[in-house]
Amino acid sequence: MESNLAVTQAGQPEQDRDSFFDRIKDRASFILGIAAVTSGLALAINSSSADAKINLPAQGVYDSCNIAKTLNICKQRLGRIGVNGGAGFNVALEEDGLDGDMSQLNNYMNASINDGVKIIWSLQNDGWWQNYNPNGNNMLGYYPSFTEACGAGCNTNEKLLGFIVDTLKGKATYGFYIADDSQIPQNNPTPYLSGLSNFTKDIRQYAPNAQTVVSVYKVDSSGNTIAQYYKAKAATEVVQESYPEDSDNPPSVDNTPTALNRLANQVKPAAEAVKNAEAQTGEKAGFVGQAWAKCDSEYDDPTQFKTHDCTFPTGDQLVTMRNTMINIAHPNLILYYNYDQVAGYPKGQSLSYWYNPTGATAAMRFSRLKYVVTTPDQ
């Protein structure tokens, strides 16, 4: 199906993620004379304190910016996140972008290419994979811009899905986020795996190189939980979440060797899960690290939500979490949850049950997030 967007126009072959990241220019790091960071899907960084070598995969952040409401702000956020002049991330998981019309999406995707950022688009509405009827039309109402652009012939769920994927595939896109852990019972995902498998197959019918991503919150160090997704072909990439930094950790002890060692030990079960899943299936999984404070969420720490009496992970803590996962499991993708809790929400898009960092707090958090990309220290 021919796309309406300039970045995926007919005659331009779809490009896989490796070739995209290979073209990203080398960025010189400015922190304490750290060696240059070579951008790519697999980034190799020499430690400034040891001869060991850390191989960094693609790194990105969850973001939620409504392109239809605030296109320019969304583009500014991409620029601030990205490799080419921004924090250094080459992936953004966009949770709130598909309300944009075709012109806005075209504009946003061209910006992502210029900023060196590939997009993971959210298609996590469970109508796509739970009791899905390809010949039905229940999904048309969820994506009015795409339904309108698709035209009169776009009268079934399957035709709409094909149009969405064909429109978004190409060099601006890493893949599609098809299910969040909150949608699937963590102790028994089995009843949902068949639907996710069919959804992955459908997406890859239209975009063979696109990744489908599912997040898992349950930490099962045996790797069995992650492995069952791969064995069912429910996703091409499973990302293991780990949020170990508690609300009651005083800032004065955050970066002591004892505190960092404690943090590393808390991440190890998640790293073992990723490692053991690969041993079972041959498939690499990803990692979602903690870029928020527990009291940012009314659900996670209701006693401190209103006073906001807790700490955001320090740069060294973020690096400790990242390196623990990399050294044990060598994940293929690292995402940080989430940019809204780092830089604040886009204008008019904040959620009442999440903290909205602003001013000096947002600046501090952004500097720490940027530090985890630019520092190679072990």
Amino acid making up residue 119: I
Distance between start and end Cα atoms, the chain: 47
> Would you place residue 85 in the very low, low, confident or very high pLDDT band (cuts 50, 70, 90)?
confident
Token pair for residue 9? 């126009």
- The gap from C-alpha 80 to its chain's centroid, in whole angstroms, comes to 16
Instruction: Rank 13-17, 248-252, 263-267 by mean pLDDT and report only the highest.
Output: 263-267
Is 327 exposed, middle or buried (CB count within 10 Å of its CB: 0-12, 13-18, 19+)? middle
> Would you place residue 328 in the very low, low, confident or very high pLDDT band (cuts 50, 70, 90)?
very high
The C-alpha atoms of residue 69 and residue 81 are separated, in whole angstroms, by: 20
Say if residue 49's pLDDT is above 80. Answer: no
What class is the 6-374 domain? alpha beta
> Would you place residue 253 in the very low, low, confident or very high pLDDT band (cuts 50, 70, 90)?
low
The reply to whether omega before 338 is within 30° of 0 (cis) is yes
> Would you place residue 259 in the very low, low, confident or very high pLDDT band (cuts 50, 70, 90)?
confident
The C-alpha atoms of residue 81 and residue 291 are separated, in whole angstroms, by: 14
The C-alpha atoms of residue 164 and residue 197 are separated, in whole angstroms, by: 18
Please give the sequence-ordered ranges of beta strands (E in DSSP) within the chain, or none if there are none: 43-46, 53-56, 58-63, 91-94, 118-122, 173-179, 211-216, 237-241, 286-290, 333-337
| CB count in 10 Å sphere of residue 93 | 27
Model pTM score: 0.85
- Regarding predicted confidence, which is higher, 85 or 337? 337
On average, the pLDDT of the chain sits at 85
Three-state DSSP class for residue 324:
helix
Say if residue 50's pLDDT is above 90. Answer: no
Per-residue pLDDT of 132-176, as tens digits, reads: 999 999 999 999 999 999 998 899 999 999 999 999 999 999 999
| Cβ-contact 76, 82 below 8 angstroms | no
How is residue 200 annotated by DSSP? H
Q: Which residues of 164-194 are buried (b: 16+ CB within 10 A; e: fewer)?
A: bbbbbbbbbbbbbbbbbbebbeeeebeebbe
